[in-house]
Amino acid sequence: MQHRSEQKINSKIFRHKKRIFKNTVRLLFQHSILLLTGQGILTGIYILLLIPLLSVFYRLALSVTGYSYVTISNIGNILIHPIVLLFLLLVFIVMGIALLLEACYLITFYTLIEDGEKPGLIKVLVLALKKLILIFLRRNLSLLPMVWLIIGISNIPLFLFAVKRVRVLSFISDNLMDFDFAIPVAVLITVGLVVLMIRRLFIFLYSLIEGKTYVKSKKLDNNNRRKTRDTADLIKPKDKGKVKRSINNNKSMEYSNNKSMEYSNNLKNIIFRTAVIGEEYLKRISFPRTFFYFIIWNIWIGLADLALYILTMAITALFITGIPDKSLAIATFLTINDKMNGYFFIGIFAINTLANFALYTHLFFQYKLEQNENVDIDHTVDTIFIQVGAYKTVIKVALILLACFNFYSFYDIVRNGSPLAYMNLDMIHVTSHRGFSAGVPENTLPAIERAIEEQADFVEVDVRMTKDGELVLLHDENLLRTTGVNKKIWQLNFLEVSHLDAGKWKDKAYTGTRIPTLREVFELCKGKVNLNLDLKYRNEGEGLEEKVAALIEEYEMQWQCVISSTSLTALEHIKELNPDIRTGYITYQIYRGYLTNENIDFFSVRSNLITKTVSSDIHKSGKEIHVWTVNNRSELERMKRLGVDNIITDDPSYAKEVLYQEASGRFFLTLAKIVLE
């Protein structure tokens, strides 16, 4: 049977043999809506599957290594732990399967266009899934590391973007740049990986387009032919004609129920043994030419990525012109810019992968055309059928339960947060002190609302308990400074406290502002901002820790809250109640013994106590550094150089403006300021 791929002269793609880039662009955009829709579906599936998996992996990694956080200083020790290595291998396999499905989808989509067919969305997705199944049926597992290499090299522009935007990669690159010849060595390594990728690329394409397996010619000459004959001998003489016709037409045989499994295995073995890539085709491929196409094409892709990024940031800068407060507008712009990085990683990955696989597929067809060879498209996937028999219902139920579990896990992460949020390898977090104490009454709902508006990552509040056991926000033990009433908070019931004015002392505009309960704070902040609860511990009999932990669990905010205190006893009690809650020790002196204390996840210290040695020691112990209270530029810049993890400040928008003034963000910060003027 002659397929459309053999009718070369009629193919629109092949009319201009030498216009590789033009034809690739045409291939990329010919059915772009369908292409992007399918890509969006696959991306959604990947996110639903991988984020819960990575969340479990992160918790496991911290649990087995005994660290509280992943930091730049301890990430190496975490990654070499045997159990972590095993789990990394699992993640590598799972993500590799996802990448293989991605490759199957794109190559199938482009192959159908090259073959003159319209790539229907459902058809392409089903064929891609069948191709993936066939890869494992043929035991062609070498494609798993191969797809990592190909897609990794296809996303070099994404890696360059990540080096400037992810703190751990920036840290590594900055340290490597200190060595002589670092840049030439990096270039040589990159070129070497590109060369390796191109040399394996057409084997990969051969496997997915024509369904063939690469076997060394010496194995084919004697061994493979003998095994093929031996396999054929297993089939009854009267059925050999059927098997032969089935192989020639790339279709599966229809077997009787009692013989189907035996014949299917024989047919699979014959297809696997005889479908071997012709080495002559691989030898005739022009490597320099392919290398040239790849480099030029990816330069254009990189420029397109950069243009898209600048355009998006420009639109964002125009958007913030509606915010009257200039400082708040800049903070909003910087926060949006920071949060957009994750979406850009996904977007740039999609653009780079889609564009490069269009080039790869077209080059495969083009080289076949130039060598006067037909593209023998593998149609085995059209008729592949997986027999599940009596297990069909069990498999369906298992898949439904797995899907429900993943949806629930992802929903829980979105709604209640995830331990991944604590893997701060990107930017320094900014905490707004006592809500927003710069211009609003501290520890009040208006102060917290203002902190959220100022784009704070965390809001720090002080928690105390009234006489009747209600959790409220108050820094001083005495109410005199903020309400004018000379009483201790534990001497009054909440009903009495609720009538006090906690705003007039700051500004008459806030007259009537009340002391809020912690429950009201949770209602306001859930899903909007993280909280740092500073427990003002008095004694063990008060029960402050139990009530706070219970309220956190009630609102399922253990991944949105951290607890800090000057009392190690309080932190130990919190860990007994809920080990998942992150705890921080507020101290003026860090002793060696504290670094190994399992009840301390981070240290909260005055900024002038932090030195390079202190920072290094804390990070090596797997704990974070929170510093207070930093409001001036010079100290903010010093904390940034020392690599602290969280800065507590009275003015979060100004702190973010200073912290974001780095090489990769200065252009956009300047752009925002120009737009606002």
Per-block average pLDDT, block size 10, for the chain (677 residues)? Answer: 41 52 90 91 84 81 81 78 90 91 94 88 89 84 91 88 70 68 83 88 86 50 40 44 46 42 45 45 69 91 87 76 71 72 82 94 87 76 55 65 68 63 70 89 94 91 94 95 93 94 91 95 92 91 92 91 94 92 91 89 93 89 92 91 91 85 54 54
Cα gap 280→200, rounded to integer Å? 15
156-165 and 287-319 helices, crossing angle to 10°: 40
pLDDT reported for residue 395: 61
Question: The tokens of 454 are what?
Answer: 């100022």
Segment (H or E) for 13? none
For 291, residues 6+ apart whose C-beta sits below 8 A from its C-beta are 194, 195, 198
Q: Which residues are catalytic?
A: 433, 475
In order of 20, 77, 150, 471, the CA distances from 195 in angstroms are 20, 32, 11, 64
Distance CA 124, CA 115 (A): 13
Task: Take residue 620 and report the two structure tokens written for it.
Answer: 């090596």
What pLDDT shows up at residue 485? 93
Nearest to 268 by CA among 382, 127, 383, 137: 137
Instruction: Please give the Cα distance from 180 to 185 (Å, whole number).
Output: 9
CA 382 from chain centre, in angstroms, equals: 34
**Residue owning tokens 């005199």:** 480
pLDDT of residue 529: 92
Q: How many helices (H) and strands (E) does the chain have?
A: 29, 9
Which DSSP state fits 378? -
Is this model's pTM higher than 0.75 or not? Answer: no
The upper half-sphere exposure of residue 343, i.e. CA atoms within 13 Å in the direction of its Cβ, equals: 9
The confidence score (pLDDT) of residue 17 equals 45
- List pLDDT tens digits, range 594-652: 998 999 999 999 999 999 889 888 988 889 999 999 999 999 989 988 889 999 999 99
β partners of residue 648: 431
What gap in Å lies between CA 354 and CA 301, rounded to an integer?
10
Provide the token pair at 372: 């006067």
One-letter amino acid at 327 equals S
Residue 73 CA, distance from chain mean position: 21
Q: Say what the pLDDT of residue 178 is.
A: 66
pLDDT at 257: 42
Task: Name the residue among 139, 130, 110, 132 with its Cα closest to residue 213.
Answer: 139
- Asked if 463 and 542 touch (Cβ cutoff 8 Å), the reply is no
Predicted pLDDT at 458: 95
Residues in the chain: 677
Q: Which of 588, 619, 607 is nearest to 649 (CA)?
A: 607
